[in-house]
Amino acid sequence: MTHHTMRDFLAALEQKGLLRRIARPVDRMWEPAALAKWMYQALPEEKRFGMYFENVKGYKIPIVTAALGASTAAYATALGVEPEGINDAWVRACRNPIPPKVVDRALCQEVVVTGKDVRLSTLPIPVWTPGKDKSPYLTTITVTRDRDTGIQNMGVYRTMVRDETSVVPNLAPGRQGYINTLTWTDKDKAAPIAWVIAAPPAVHLATVANLPYGADEIDIAGGMMGAPVAMVKCKTVDLVVPADAEIVIEGELHPGETDMEGPFGEFAGYMGPVDRRPVVRITAITHRKNPIYYGYTSQMPPSESTTIQSLTNAGVLLKTLRYDLGEPGVTDVFIDQTFGGLLAHAIIAMKPGYPAHSKKVGRLVAAMSPIKRVTVVDDDVDIRDHTHVEWAMNSRYNPARDTDLINDVYFPINMDPSVRSRTSENTMGSKIVCDATLKIDAGTFSLPPKEIMMKALDLWKEIGLPEFEIPKRAKLRIDRS
């Protein structure tokens, strides 16, 4: 079962040795972020850990980062599944969504600060690219609501702290949070908006899903948790937020009020562009007694941002292909974790059923997701093993015949320098689909038949040669030899 609070999850992570407490006092303006950068830049995935900064100078509130997305193992722990079960867990959650329930009392409202007592500097909001970001940034769940349908949306939109009582979220045109705020501001009304910090882990991980507009991520978080997520009405705006979160920041986005947002270090590995964005006036800060502050580490990949976006969106994509688009032959989806579920490289494993079926599936993925490169392989390839995928590319992919280029694609966020233009309104790019499935019967593999390989394995052990775990790549090949 997935953990019901961030604290339960952190305890489970610590037990597994995947969380480190750092007792030395740290300065939120540079130290947590810079240390997290070393972890992602220097340590291999299996050695990474969540970081729990117990003593933040000037604060009684600790900062936690990287816990949800240190590695595939940490992410799987958040969902209460094994790493191999992550895709299946999302497929189940998306097929069995559970709407939230509204409760009267909430942990996240044990302390309520409103009006002139609101000061953002009471929270230890970190600077994530010290020396380069304009100011501290909120990197967490943003909640908005469509005024006409009443349906809420959760997404992560980097949010710049402007002063003690206002912020500037990167609500870029085309993004669902932006569309929601327009349903209010177009009618000259203030749009309600809230940031949720340290909610139940499944809520955080569902938030980064790229769902169709009008689908609320909270329902698939409920599906993942196997129970409705408890939500509570905000104190000053007309939204509901996860009741068991540690901290909630409420605000109003007034029509016409804008400011420059950025620079902020982005997941593509460069400083994101500076653009004009709406200003939000903070109306309340509510929190648990003795709360924990949580912020995602992003910037130069790999990062927590790239890890969580890849893993969530691979599962959601698999569900959409198999159950919404009638492609049961698709057996697995992997999104490159070095760059993230947005604009990255997806690898699809499938059993093609007819000529060019695999190309069609690749084009579907390109059309319905932000993914920039799509590679389709047969289901005898381990799509998480890049050496196996490279082998398929070399042995089954004929570039002139097996490539589709898709032109005139609008990228609604202006973060990928390869497609960046001077203004975010005109960010046109392209996509590529590579079909690396076999087009003919190429015969059997150049390995001895399975019986001989298994006899040789016994011989290996008898001789006392070094022990090994059979890689999935080898299993798949030997099974067909």
Give least dist CB 239 to ligand FMN, A: 15
Residues from 188 through 217 that contact ligand FMN (CB under 6 A): 208-210
Give least dist CB 477 to ligand FMN, A: 36
- Please report the sign of the dihedral spanned by the C-alpha atoms of residue 182, residue 256, residue 275, residue 296: negative
Q: What is the number of the residue whose Cβ is closest to ligand FMN?
A: 155
What is the chain's length?
481
Our finding on whether 170 is near ligand FMN (CB under 6 A) is yes
Number of residues that bind ligand FMN (CB under 6 A): 21
Give least dist CB 207 to ligand FMN, A: 7
Our finding on whether 298 is near ligand FMN (CB under 6 A) is yes
Cβ atoms of 206 and 311 within 8 Å: the answer is no
Residues from 94 through 153 that contact ligand FMN (CB under 6 A): 139, 153
With CA atoms as reference, report the closest residue to 105 among 280, 237, 235, 17.
Answer: 235
Our finding on whether 157 is near ligand FMN (CB under 6 A) is yes
| CA–CA separation, 74 and 82 (whole Å) | 10
Give least dist CB 264 to ligand FMN, A: 8
| CA–CA separation, 255 and 309 (whole Å) | 31
- Taking CB under 6 A as the criterion, the residue among 37, 145, 147, 175 binding ligand FMN is 175
Our finding on whether 285 is near ligand FMN (CB under 6 A) is no
Q: What letter represents residue 125's amino acid? A: I
The count of other CB atoms within 10 Å of the CB of residue 122 is 14
Residue among 213 and 460 whose Cβ is closer to ligand FMN? 213
Our finding on whether 291 is near ligand FMN (CB under 6 A) is no
Our finding on whether 156 is near ligand FMN (CB under 6 A) is yes
Tokens of 345: 């490289």
Give least dist CB 337 to ligand FMN, A: 13
- Taking CB under 6 A as the criterion, the residue among 67, 81, 342, 376 binding ligand FMN is 342
Which residues does 275 contact at the CB level (< 8 Å), separation at least 6?
Answer: 170, 172, 260, 261, 262, 414, 424
Can you say how many angstroms the Cα of residue 391 is from the centroid of all Cα atoms in its chain? Answer: 28
Cβ atoms of 364 and 327 within 8 Å: the answer is yes
| CA–CA separation, 267 and 416 (whole Å) | 9
Our finding on whether 286 is near ligand FMN (CB under 6 A) is no
Give least dist CB 185 to ligand FMN, A: 17
